[in-house]
Amino acid sequence: MADQAVLQINGKTLELPLIVGTEKEVGIDIAVLRDKTGAVTFDPGYGNSGACESAVTFLDGELGILRYRGIPIEQLAGHASFLEVSWLLLKGELPTAAELAQFDAAEKSHRDLPDFAVQLIKSLPRNVHPMAGLAAVFATLSSVEGPTKDLEAGLAANELRLLAQIPTIAAYLYRHTEGLDFVAPDKNKAYAANYLNMMFKGTKFETNDADIANALDLLFILHADHEQNCSTSTVRLVGSAQAGLSASIAAGVTALWGPLHGGANQAVIEMLDEVVAHGGDVNWAVAQAKDKNSTFRLMGFGHRVYKNFDPRATIIKVQADLVLSRLGKNDKQLALAKGLEEAALHDEYFIARKLYPNVDFYSGIIYRALGFPPGMFTVLFAIGRLPGWMAHWNEHNAGKAKIGRPRQIYIGKNARDFVALNKR
């Protein structure tokens, strides 16, 4: 392959260097483009533009490949814990037994929130969306953020604290919206089991079932990173302005909240409820999803990058069967979701557009079966995504990146004069 691209524009010829990644992805380095030609590239949604070089996650949308620091998601999902995967994403290697033991103990010791954060949560309206509360608390935690270089148990102390505290924040937000007393973190419980305890202790959803906690831990792993998705790119862009870690994560939380992104897991359940209201008519739903005059979309289907199966959806679908049978529930929504998937995968509209189930299609069914209300689903996504966000924030700042500042093509009015009020 040539090691450069040749661009001809306005009678000029510009040779642009190529950069090739470790998985042979090719990028055209256009750093000199505007200086040399006065032109910029135009790529709304950045579908063809690489914003950075990254070593955190590799995914191949055509082949349905997803690897964290080179390790396939299928292997991590079957053998690692969420804490191990968090260490892998943040440090680049899996922890040794000693490192993991030290990390585990330190994480357990930092689960309590500062009192101001507890009071902030209690001050929120009862009907606050938990994602709004999560963003607010993360922005406020910037006030107790230490120096970036401070380490504890082998990790940046700030990262350790946020990893330890996000389940507590999530549980307290939920219990506040339900009018329930808060349940303090239990330092004797593993990560996911502690979260479930803080969420549901004393309610009809209380569980001490290790298989349920392990299923949730697996779901956190599957959501832990996904290269330059909307929310991660937001964290990197905000971090490039040298905004602090917590503040940058708060921005990522609000980006994830969007129903086209992480908010889709809530939108899937709302969509399935709508289909149930139409008699569970799969054909009606597929027809609505294809109808350009309808706002109905098959939420949980399609992806900016995956044009094949999302490997996470394949794993979560199996988990949905396991968790629901474990709970003794034959959730009619799961049957409906499978029917929708079957119908869509054999429909020319979806086949032609390469629309497959994504990570959000089945996860909400599991969350709901565990007792989580739909408003908490994207918070669960955020808990899983936090180590990925922080790994990318580190990578962007470690590289001393310039502040992110895309250009534009102006299509507004040309220069014109001000008109006095009495002449308009």
Nearer to ligand SDX, 167 or 300 (CB): 300
Nearer to ligand SDX, 301 or 367 (CB): 301
Q: Can you give 6-27 as a three-state secondary structure string?
A: EEEECCEEEEEEEEECCCCCEE
Beta carbon of residue 53, minimum distance to ligand SDX (angstroms, whole number): 18
Would you state the structure tokens that stand for residue 98, as one six-digit string?
Answer: 């000693």
Q: Which residues are catalytic?
A: 303, 360
- CA-to-CA dists, residue 309 to 341, 346, 385, angstroms: 12, 14, 20
Q: Which long-range contacts (CB under 8 A, 24 or more apart) does 88-97 make?
A: 89/56, 89/57, 89/224, 89/225, 89/387, 89/388, 89/390, 89/391, 90/155, 90/156, 90/159, 90/387, 90/390, 90/391, 90/394, 91/154, 91/155, 92/55, 93/69, 95/154
Beta carbon of residue 329, minimum distance to ligand SDX (angstroms, whole number): 24
What does the DSSP 8-state code read for residue 96? Answer: P
Mode of pairing for the β-strands spanning 71-72 and 151-152: unpaired
Nearer to ligand SDX, 176 or 261 (CB): 261
Query: Taking CB under 6 A as the rule, does residue 329 contact ligand SDX?
Result: no
Query: Taking CB under 6 A as the rule, does residue 282 contact ligand SDX?
Result: no
Nearer to ligand SDX, 185 or 357 (CB): 357
Query: Taking CB under 6 A as the rule, does residue 307 contact ligand SDX?
Result: no
Query: Taking CB under 6 A as the rule, does residue 67 contact ligand SDX?
Result: no
Beta carbon of residue 227, minimum distance to ligand SDX (angstroms, whole number): 7
Scan residues 221-250 and list those touching ligand SDX (CB under 6 A): 226, 229
Residues 6+ away with beta carbon under 8 Å from 22:
none
- Applying CB under 6 A, the span of 95-103, 183-191, 358-366, 372-380 interacting with ligand SDX comes to 358-366
Q: Which of 110, 261, 368, 396 binds ligand SDX (CB under 6 A)?
A: 261
Q: Which of 297, 326, 329, 338 binds ligand SDX (CB under 6 A)?
A: 297
Query: Taking CB under 6 A as the rule, does residue 302 contact ligand SDX?
Result: yes
Nearer to ligand SDX, 177 or 358 (CB): 358
Cβ-closest position to ligand SDX: 302
Query: Taking CB under 6 A as the rule, does residue 252 contact ligand SDX?
Result: no
Query: Taking CB under 6 A as the rule, does residue 110 contact ligand SDX?
Result: no
Helix (H) or strand (E) holding 156: strand 155-156
Instruction: In whole angstroms, give the CA distance from residue 362 to residue 300.
Output: 8
Helix (H) or strand (E) holding 71: strand 71-72
- CA-to-CA dists, residue 54 to 51, 135, 156, 393, angstroms: 9, 26, 20, 11
Q: Which of 36, 108, 304, 326 binds ligand SDX (CB under 6 A)?
A: 304
Rg (CA), the chain: 23
Mode of pairing for the β-strands spanning 155-156 and 151-152: antiparallel
Strand partners for 71: 68
Beta carbon of residue 306, minimum distance to ligand SDX (angstroms, whole number): 7
Q: Which of 358, 363, 378, 394 binds ligand SDX (CB under 6 A)?
A: 358
3-state secondary structure of 308: coil
Nearer to ligand SDX, 176 or 223 (CB): 223
Query: Taking CB under 6 A as the rule, does residue 130 contact ligand SDX?
Result: no
Query: Taking CB under 6 A as the rule, does residue 337 contact ligand SDX?
Result: no
Query: Taking CB under 6 A as the rule, does residue 298 contact ligand SDX?
Result: yes
Query: Taking CB under 6 A as the rule, does residue 57 contact ligand SDX?
Result: no
Residue with tokens 């292997």, as numbered in its chain: 75
Q: Which of 73, 218, 359, 380 binds ligand SDX (CB under 6 A)?
A: 359
Size of interface with ligand SDX, in residues (CB under 6 A): 21
Helix (H) or strand (E) holding 68: strand 65-68
Nearer to ligand SDX, 121 or 382 (CB): 382
Would you state the structure tokens that stand for residue 227, as one six-digit string?
Answer: 């290269």
Residues binding ligand SDX (CB under 6 A): 226, 229, 260-262, 264, 289, 297-305, 353, 355, 358-360
